[in-house]
Amino acid sequence: MNIKQQILALISEHTEPSLPVDQIAEDLSLQEIGIDSLRFMLLVLALEELLGQSGFNVGSISQVRSVGDLIAMAA
């Protein structure tokens, strides 16, 4: 599984109700797939763990609006 697929799987786990990965398109907003601010912060923590990074740039995080933005930030 490549990194993009892993990120999409994490996003899927954080949606409510859980969306299948194949229904998560990069142009969808996080709000459209049920990611609120709390779920977003939990998702960022999970991404940090997955990628072995800590402390994504706060400026970058605040600019994330879509699935594609999140993938780009983490890549």
Per-residue pLDDT tens for 5-57? 999 999 999 998 889 999 999 999 999 999 999 999 999 999 988 888 766 77
> Residue 29's pLDDT is what?
97
pTM: 0.86
**What is the CATH T-level fold of the domain 3-74, as seen in this structure?**
1.10.1200
CB neighbour list of residue 18: distance below 8 Å, 6 or more residues apart: 12
30 token code pair:
């996080």
> Residue 58's pLDDT is what?
66
Q: Distances from the Cα of 56 to the Cαs of 3, 22, 38, 43, in angstroms?
A: 17, 26, 16, 12
> Residue 57's pLDDT is what?
72
> Residue 52's pLDDT is what?
85
State yes or no: pLDDT of 67 exceeds 90. Answer: yes
